[in-house]
Amino acid sequence: MKRRDFITTTALGASALAFGGCHRAEDKTEANSFNINRGKKVTLKLATSWPAHFPIMGTGVDTFAKRCSELSGGTLEIKIFAKNILVPALQVFDAASAAQIDAFHSGVYYWKGKNSAFSIFGGMPLGLTSEEMITWFKFAGGYDLWREMYGKYNLYPLIGGTTGPQMGGWFKKEINSLADLKGLKMRIPGLGGEVMKKLGANPVLLPAGEIYTALERGTIDATEWVGPALDSMMGFAKAAPYYYEGWHEPGSILELTFNKARWERLSSEHQAIITAASEEMTSNMLQEFRYKNAVALQKLPKTVQIKTFPDEMMRAAKKALAEILADESAKSSDFKRVLESYEAFVKLNQPWDDIARKHILEIRG
Ligand code: CA
């Protein structure tokens, strides 16, 4: 929500309470819509890209819907449709854009085919953490660019949670050098997959339901997923004993996106409730991932070996990523603009992060 809208809504709420509907002239139009919409029940159809009640991501949206109902006194109902019920998992963007559904919950990097710049909104390999990404969106221009670019598709995006740092994935064999990546078949999407390709690996995309079997049968040599909490449910430890620390998804952002025309027809009150409930969902999801990953890490089978990728590989990954970003910037002015905003925030954030957070993490041991 824009600052002006927030101020107007707050002022209206206060004046409605104090003066029983007696408003200043300039508030009249919005005051009327506020009063008309107040108490009127609104139902929104929200489709997700996850199975029903999928742990953490799906249950996060369930709680978001419940909070919208509670905070609105029952006047705002969000009806959730799990993947493939109303629309296929990866068609939620198009369906909301065409107003076939009102909203969706999904991952931003799925839509990079529409505009390569969208991949940056979803997170950057070797880049910003979840907390840093959220700061960029809210305070350093990220939201303005995201909303401008989604606006061309008649969409209005909100951050819909974040995973925190993800693990580097499960490998059947140890990776001791760059040479070990040659021809390695790995399930890894997004910019991380493009970097792996430049390093000689063969990134593949597989639906969630097929990954375990492919890994177990050796059709693929490695896979990334999320972190210990969700990875344990997939059983990867039985098929690949080497579990590598992450680099490619330090802070992946999920999205809660609305059809823009539908969003604009909502009352200021309902917009404020959705915005507040989405921020609550984002913060809860980050904390839940942190806690459940910490618990699940302790419970991994003893056969699992936690590993760090070789320095040689990470140096090559940084170089490959820089080349990919330069290529994409040359091809797309949107990508270039988003990257410039992102990098300006990285530059601003780094010195303070080094003397504050990084320092604490180092000295506390
Ligand atoms: Ca992942």
pLDDT of residue 109: 84
Which residue type occupies 274? I
Residues 25-77: pLDDT tens digits? 344 444 444 544 556 899 999 999 999 999 999 999 999 999 999 999 999 99
Q: What is the dihedral of CA 322, 224, 93, 108, to 10 degrees?
A: -40
- Which domains can be identified in the chain, with CATH numbers? 3-163+251-291 (3.40.190.170), 169-248+301-331 (3.40.190.10)
- Two structure tokens written together for 68: 């919208």
d(CA 332, CA 330): 6
Structure confidence at residue 31 (pLDDT): 44
Distance 223 CA to ligand 1 centre (A): 9
What is the 189 CA–ligand 1 centroid distance (Å)? 7
Cα 282 from Cα 274, distance rounded (Å): 12
State pTM to two decimals.
0.88
The alpha helices in the chain, defined as continuous H runs, are 3-19, 28-37, 57-71, 92-97, 118-121, 130-139, 142-151, 190-198, 208-217, 228-234, 260-265, 268-298, 311-331, 333-353, 359-364
* Cα 5 to ligand 1 centre (Å): 36
- Map residue 51 onto helix, strand or coil: coil
Going from the Cα of 213 to the center of ligand 1, the distance in angstroms, rounded, reads 18
Per-residue model confidence (pLDDT) at position 337 = 98
- How far, in Å, from the CA of 23 to the mean position of ligand 1? 51
Decide if 255 contacts 96 (C-beta within 8 A): no
Q: How far is CA 96 from the centre of its chain?
A: 17
CA of 17 to the centre of ligand 1 (A): 47
Quick one: tokens of 13?
Answer: 């709420």
- Residue ranges in the chain modelled with pLDDT below 50: 1-33, 35-36
* Cα 301 to middle of ligand 1, angstroms: 21
pLDDT for residue 35? 47
Instruction: Quote the tokens at residue 318.
Output: 């940084």
Ligand 1: distance of its center to the CA of 170 in Å?
A: 11
Residue 207 pLDDT: 79
Nearest to 184 by CA among 241, 175, 211, 306: 175
- Between CA 332 and CA 132 the distance in angstroms is 25
- 55: CA distance to ligand 1 center in Å? 15
What pLDDT score does 14 carry? Answer: 36
Q: Would you state the pLDDT for residue 37?
A: 52
Give start and end residues of each alpha helix (H) in 89-207.
92-97, 118-121, 130-139, 142-151, 190-198
How far apart are alpha carbons 220 and 238 in whole angstroms? 14
CA 92 to ligand 1 centroid distance, Å? 19
Task: List the shell of residues around ion ligand 1, using CB closer than 5 Å.
Answer: 166, 249
Q: What is the pLDDT of residue 8?
A: 37
Q: What is the pLDDT of residue 27?
A: 42
Q: Which helix (H) or strand (E) holds 170?
A: strand 169-171
For residue 304, give the 3-state DSSP assignment.
coil
Output the pLDDT for position 7.
37
What is the distance in A from the centroid of ligand 1 to the CA of 205?
A: 12
